[in-house]
Structure 1
Amino acid sequence: MDLFSGTSFRSIELGINQAQKNQQILAHNIANADTPGYKAKERSFLNMLENELTNANLSAKKTNTSHVDFRGGSSSSRLNELKGQYHHNGNGVDIDKEMANLAENQIQYNALIERLNGRFSSLQSVIRGGK
Protein backbone atom coordinates (compact mmCIF):
# COMPACT_ATOMS: atom_id res chain seq x y z
CA MET A 1 0.00 0.00 0.00
CA ASP A 2 1.42 3.34 -1.02
CA LEU A 3 0.37 6.08 1.40
CA PHE A 4 1.54 8.92 -0.81
CA SER A 5 -0.03 7.99 -4.14
CA GLY A 6 -3.46 9.41 -3.32
CA THR A 7 -4.99 12.28 -5.22
CA SER A 8 -4.57 14.81 -2.41
CA PHE A 9 -0.82 14.24 -2.14
CA ARG A 10 -0.49 14.31 -5.92
CA SER A 11 -2.50 17.55 -6.17
CA ILE A 12 -0.38 19.20 -3.49
CA GLU A 13 2.80 18.00 -5.21
CA LEU A 14 1.68 19.42 -8.57
CA GLY A 15 0.77 22.73 -6.92
CA ILE A 16 4.14 22.99 -5.21
CA ASN A 17 5.93 22.21 -8.48
CA GLN A 18 3.98 24.91 -10.30
CA ALA A 19 4.72 27.43 -7.54
CA GLN A 20 8.42 26.57 -7.79
CA LYS A 21 8.44 27.10 -11.57
CA ASN A 22 6.60 30.40 -11.16
CA GLN A 23 9.14 31.43 -8.51
CA GLN A 24 12.02 30.79 -10.92
CA ILE A 25 10.42 32.88 -13.66
CA LEU A 26 9.60 35.74 -11.28
CA ALA A 27 13.12 35.68 -9.83
CA HIS A 28 14.57 35.77 -13.34
CA ASN A 29 12.38 38.75 -14.26
CA ILE A 30 13.36 40.62 -11.09
CA ALA A 31 17.05 39.84 -11.61
CA ASN A 32 16.84 41.32 -15.11
CA ALA A 33 14.88 44.42 -14.11
CA ASP A 34 17.77 46.67 -15.23
CA THR A 35 18.89 44.64 -18.25
CA PRO A 36 18.51 46.71 -21.44
CA GLY A 37 16.05 45.17 -23.90
CA TYR A 38 14.93 42.38 -21.55
CA LYS A 39 11.22 41.51 -21.80
CA ALA A 40 9.48 40.06 -18.77
CA LYS A 41 8.26 36.49 -19.10
CA GLU A 42 5.24 34.75 -17.65
CA ARG A 43 3.82 31.25 -17.64
CA SER A 44 0.62 30.98 -19.58
CA PHE A 45 -2.15 29.00 -17.88
CA LEU A 46 -3.23 27.51 -21.20
CA ASN A 47 0.31 26.32 -21.91
CA MET A 48 0.55 24.77 -18.43
CA LEU A 49 -2.84 23.06 -18.86
CA GLU A 50 -1.86 21.77 -22.28
CA ASN A 51 1.40 20.42 -20.89
CA GLU A 52 -0.38 18.61 -18.05
CA LEU A 53 -2.92 17.10 -20.46
CA THR A 54 -0.13 15.94 -22.75
CA ASN A 55 1.70 14.24 -19.87
CA ALA A 56 -1.44 12.77 -18.31
CA ASN A 57 -2.90 9.36 -19.04
CA LEU A 58 -6.25 10.69 -20.19
CA SER A 59 -8.38 9.47 -23.04
CA ALA A 60 -11.41 10.93 -24.74
CA LYS A 61 -13.59 10.03 -27.68
CA LYS A 62 -14.85 12.56 -30.20
CA THR A 63 -18.52 11.94 -30.91
CA ASN A 64 -18.69 14.60 -33.60
CA THR A 65 -16.11 15.72 -36.14
CA SER A 66 -16.75 19.37 -35.25
CA HIS A 67 -15.64 18.84 -31.65
CA VAL A 68 -12.29 20.20 -30.55
CA ASP A 69 -9.46 17.68 -30.24
CA PHE A 70 -8.99 16.65 -26.62
CA ARG A 71 -5.21 16.61 -26.68
CA GLY A 72 -4.84 19.83 -28.67
CA GLY A 73 -1.72 20.93 -30.50
CA SER A 74 1.71 21.12 -29.02
CA SER A 75 3.04 24.40 -27.78
CA SER A 76 6.49 25.49 -28.87
CA SER A 77 7.10 27.59 -25.79
CA ARG A 78 5.85 27.44 -22.24
CA LEU A 79 6.83 31.04 -21.59
CA ASN A 80 5.27 34.12 -23.08
CA GLU A 81 7.06 37.42 -23.36
CA LEU A 82 4.98 40.26 -22.03
CA LYS A 83 4.49 43.24 -24.27
CA GLY A 84 5.36 46.70 -23.07
CA GLN A 85 8.29 48.86 -22.24
CA TYR A 86 8.68 50.34 -18.79
CA HIS A 87 12.15 51.84 -19.06
CA HIS A 88 13.97 54.04 -21.55
CA ASN A 89 16.41 51.20 -22.32
CA GLY A 90 13.68 48.90 -23.73
CA ASN A 91 13.32 46.85 -20.57
CA GLY A 92 9.83 45.39 -20.09
CA VAL A 93 9.95 44.51 -16.38
CA ASP A 94 7.46 46.28 -14.13
CA ILE A 95 9.20 45.68 -10.81
CA ASP A 96 6.10 46.52 -8.75
CA LYS A 97 4.02 43.99 -10.66
CA GLU A 98 6.75 41.35 -10.38
CA MET A 99 7.09 41.88 -6.62
CA ALA A 100 3.30 41.63 -6.19
CA ASN A 101 3.28 38.40 -8.23
CA LEU A 102 6.18 37.11 -6.14
CA ALA A 103 4.26 37.78 -2.91
CA GLU A 104 1.13 36.09 -4.29
CA ASN A 105 3.14 33.06 -5.39
CA GLN A 106 4.78 32.85 -1.96
CA ILE A 107 1.37 32.89 -0.24
CA GLN A 108 0.14 30.08 -2.50
CA TYR A 109 3.30 28.08 -1.87
CA ASN A 110 3.00 28.53 1.91
CA ALA A 111 -0.66 27.43 1.81
CA LEU A 112 0.31 24.27 -0.07
CA ILE A 113 3.11 23.51 2.39
CA GLU A 114 0.68 23.99 5.31
CA ARG A 115 -1.75 21.60 3.67
CA LEU A 116 1.02 19.05 3.17
CA ASN A 117 2.05 19.42 6.82
CA GLY A 118 -1.57 18.84 7.80
CA ARG A 119 -1.67 15.62 5.81
CA PHE A 120 1.54 14.41 7.47
CA SER A 121 0.20 15.36 10.89
CA SER A 122 -2.91 13.28 10.20
CA LEU A 123 -0.77 10.31 9.21
CA GLN A 124 1.37 10.77 12.29
CA SER A 125 -1.74 10.79 14.46
CA VAL A 126 -2.96 7.56 12.87
CA ILE A 127 0.44 5.92 13.37
CA ARG A 128 0.43 6.90 17.07
CA GLY A 129 -3.07 5.51 17.48
CA GLY A 130 -4.87 8.84 17.79
CA LYS A 131 -2.69 10.11 20.61
Structure 2
Amino acid sequence: MAIQFDQALGNQPQALAYRTSRSAILAGNLVNQETPGYHPQDLSFRHLLDVEDTQARMVRTNPLHLSKAGQLAATPDVVTRAPLQSPVNGNSVEPEREQLAFMRNATDFNRGLYFLRARLNGLSLAINGSQ
Protein backbone atom coordinates (compact mmCIF):
# COMPACT_ATOMS: atom_id res chain seq x y z
CA MET A 1 0.00 0.00 0.00
CA ALA A 2 1.45 3.34 -1.03
CA ILE A 3 1.60 6.28 1.36
CA GLN A 4 0.05 9.50 0.09
CA PHE A 5 2.24 12.18 1.71
CA ASP A 6 -0.25 14.94 0.87
CA GLN A 7 -2.86 13.17 2.97
CA ALA A 8 -0.44 11.94 5.63
CA LEU A 9 1.06 15.36 6.36
CA GLY A 10 -2.27 17.19 6.28
CA ASN A 11 -2.14 20.96 6.04
CA GLN A 12 1.08 21.39 8.04
CA PRO A 13 3.33 22.18 5.03
CA GLN A 14 0.92 24.89 3.85
CA ALA A 15 0.67 26.32 7.37
CA LEU A 16 4.47 26.51 7.62
CA ALA A 17 4.65 28.25 4.24
CA TYR A 18 2.06 30.78 5.44
CA ARG A 19 4.04 31.41 8.66
CA THR A 20 7.25 31.84 6.67
CA SER A 21 5.66 34.44 4.38
CA ARG A 22 4.17 36.24 7.35
CA SER A 23 7.56 36.33 9.11
CA ALA A 24 9.11 38.07 6.12
CA ILE A 25 6.37 40.72 6.07
CA LEU A 26 6.51 41.31 9.83
CA ALA A 27 10.31 41.59 9.70
CA GLY A 28 9.92 44.18 6.94
CA ASN A 29 7.61 46.15 9.20
CA LEU A 30 10.23 46.15 11.96
CA VAL A 31 12.98 47.20 9.56
CA ASN A 32 10.90 50.11 8.27
CA GLN A 33 9.77 51.44 11.65
CA GLU A 34 11.68 54.69 11.07
CA THR A 35 10.79 55.12 7.39
CA PRO A 36 8.53 58.17 6.95
CA GLY A 37 5.18 57.32 5.40
CA TYR A 38 5.55 53.56 5.83
CA HIS A 39 2.46 51.61 6.88
CA PRO A 40 2.76 48.12 8.38
CA GLN A 41 1.48 45.16 6.42
CA ASP A 42 0.26 41.73 7.38
CA LEU A 43 -1.25 38.67 5.73
CA SER A 44 -4.98 38.14 5.73
CA PHE A 45 -5.62 34.73 7.22
CA ARG A 46 -9.35 35.31 6.75
CA HIS A 47 -8.79 35.26 2.95
CA LEU A 48 -7.16 31.83 3.16
CA LEU A 49 -10.04 30.48 5.23
CA ASP A 50 -12.60 31.88 2.80
CA VAL A 51 -10.85 30.30 -0.19
CA GLU A 52 -10.46 26.96 1.59
CA ASP A 53 -14.10 27.00 2.68
CA THR A 54 -15.24 27.83 -0.86
CA GLN A 55 -13.16 25.05 -2.41
CA ALA A 56 -14.27 22.48 0.14
CA ARG A 57 -18.01 23.11 -0.19
CA MET A 58 -18.44 24.29 -3.75
CA VAL A 59 -20.52 21.97 -5.89
CA ARG A 60 -21.23 23.03 -9.46
CA THR A 61 -24.90 22.31 -10.05
CA ASN A 62 -25.46 24.89 -12.77
CA PRO A 63 -23.29 25.80 -15.80
CA LEU A 64 -23.43 29.45 -14.68
CA HIS A 65 -21.65 28.66 -11.40
CA LEU A 66 -17.95 29.37 -11.06
CA SER A 67 -15.63 26.67 -12.28
CA LYS A 68 -12.28 25.78 -10.74
CA ALA A 69 -10.64 28.04 -13.31
CA GLY A 70 -12.68 30.97 -11.98
CA GLN A 71 -11.66 30.46 -8.37
CA LEU A 72 -9.16 32.57 -6.54
CA ALA A 73 -5.71 31.16 -5.93
CA ALA A 74 -5.19 30.20 -2.30
CA THR A 75 -2.63 32.86 -1.56
CA PRO A 76 -3.03 35.24 1.33
CA ASP A 77 -3.83 38.88 0.72
CA VAL A 78 -1.37 41.44 2.01
CA VAL A 79 -3.31 44.03 3.97
CA THR A 80 -2.27 47.30 5.60
CA ARG A 81 -2.77 47.26 9.34
CA ALA A 82 -4.54 50.23 10.92
CA PRO A 83 -2.52 51.97 13.66
CA LEU A 84 -3.75 52.19 17.23
CA GLN A 85 -2.24 55.69 17.56
CA SER A 86 -2.07 58.41 14.94
CA PRO A 87 1.35 58.61 13.28
CA VAL A 88 3.47 61.76 13.57
CA ASN A 89 5.62 61.41 10.44
CA GLY A 90 3.16 59.33 8.44
CA ASN A 91 4.77 56.10 9.65
CA SER A 92 2.21 53.99 11.46
CA VAL A 93 4.52 51.15 12.55
CA GLU A 94 4.18 50.40 16.26
CA PRO A 95 7.37 48.48 17.19
CA GLU A 96 5.91 46.75 20.26
CA ARG A 97 2.91 45.54 18.30
CA GLU A 98 5.10 44.31 15.45
CA GLN A 99 7.47 42.51 17.83
CA LEU A 100 4.54 40.81 19.54
CA ALA A 101 3.07 39.71 16.19
CA PHE A 102 6.51 38.44 15.09
CA MET A 103 6.99 36.46 18.32
CA ARG A 104 3.50 34.93 18.12
CA ASN A 105 4.12 33.98 14.51
CA ALA A 106 7.47 32.39 15.43
CA THR A 107 5.78 30.42 18.22
CA ASP A 108 3.07 29.24 15.83
CA PHE A 109 5.73 28.25 13.29
CA ASN A 110 7.61 26.22 15.89
CA ARG A 111 4.39 24.54 17.02
CA GLY A 112 3.57 23.63 13.41
CA LEU A 113 7.08 22.29 12.91
CA TYR A 114 6.67 20.15 16.03
CA PHE A 115 3.42 18.66 14.69
CA LEU A 116 5.00 18.03 11.29
CA ARG A 117 7.95 16.24 12.93
CA ALA A 118 5.52 14.13 14.98
CA ARG A 119 3.67 13.09 11.83
CA LEU A 120 6.92 12.26 10.05
CA ASN A 121 8.09 10.22 13.05
CA GLY A 122 4.78 8.36 12.99
CA LEU A 123 5.22 7.62 9.29
CA SER A 124 8.76 6.44 9.92
CA LEU A 125 7.53 4.07 12.61
CA ALA A 126 4.83 2.78 10.29
CA ILE A 127 7.34 2.16 7.49
CA ASN A 128 10.20 0.73 9.55
CA GLY A 129 8.15 -0.98 12.22
CA SER A 130 9.00 -0.66 15.90
CA GLN A 131 12.72 -1.33 15.51
TM-score of the two chains, using structure 1 as the length reference: 0.75
Q: Label 1:48 to 1:3 Cα distance change in 2 as closer, same or farther (>3 A).
A: closer
Structure 2: gaps (5+ residues): none
Q: Label 1:36 to 1:130 Cα distance change in 2 as closer, same or farther (>3 A).
A: same
Measured after TM superposition, the shift of residue 86 of structure 1 is: 5.5
- Say if 2:81 is the partner of 1:82: yes
Indicate the percent of aligned positions where both proteins have the same amino acid. 24
| Mapped partners of 1:106, 1:117: distance in 2 | 16
| Mapped partners of 1:128, 1:61: distance in 2 | 43
| Mapped partners of 1:23, 1:52: distance in 2 | 22
| Mapped partners of 1:48, 1:124: distance in 2 | 31
RMSD, aligned α-carbons: 3.2
User: Residues 9 and 120 of structure 2 are in contact (CA less than 8 Å); yes or no, is this contact kept in structure 1?
Assistant: no
Considering fraction of residues, name the structure with more helix: 2
What SS does structure 1 have at the residue aligned with 2:22?
A: helix
Structure 1: gaps (5+ residues): 63-68
| Mapped partners of 2:126, 2:46: distance in 1 | 39
What are the equivalent positions in structure 2 for 1:1-131 lying under 5 Å apart? 1-6=2-7, 8-52=8-52, 56=55, 59-60=58-59, 78-84=77-83, 87-131=87-131
One-letter identity of the residue aligned with 2:91: N
| Deviations 1:3-47, CA, capped at 9 Å, x for gaps | 3121x5131112111111111110111111110100011222332
TM-score of the two chains, using structure 2 as the length reference: 0.75
Give 4+ residue runs of structure 1 displaced > 6 Å after superposition. none
| Mapped partners of 2:89, 2:31: distance in 1 | 16
Moved more, 110-119 or 8-17: 8-17
Equivalenced residue count is 123
| Mapped partners of 2:24, 2:50: distance in 1 | 20
What SS does structure 2 have at the residue aligned with 1:43?
A: strand
Map of 1:65 onto structure 2: none
Q: Label 1:4 to 1:25 Cα distance change in 2 as closer, same or farther (>3 A).
A: same
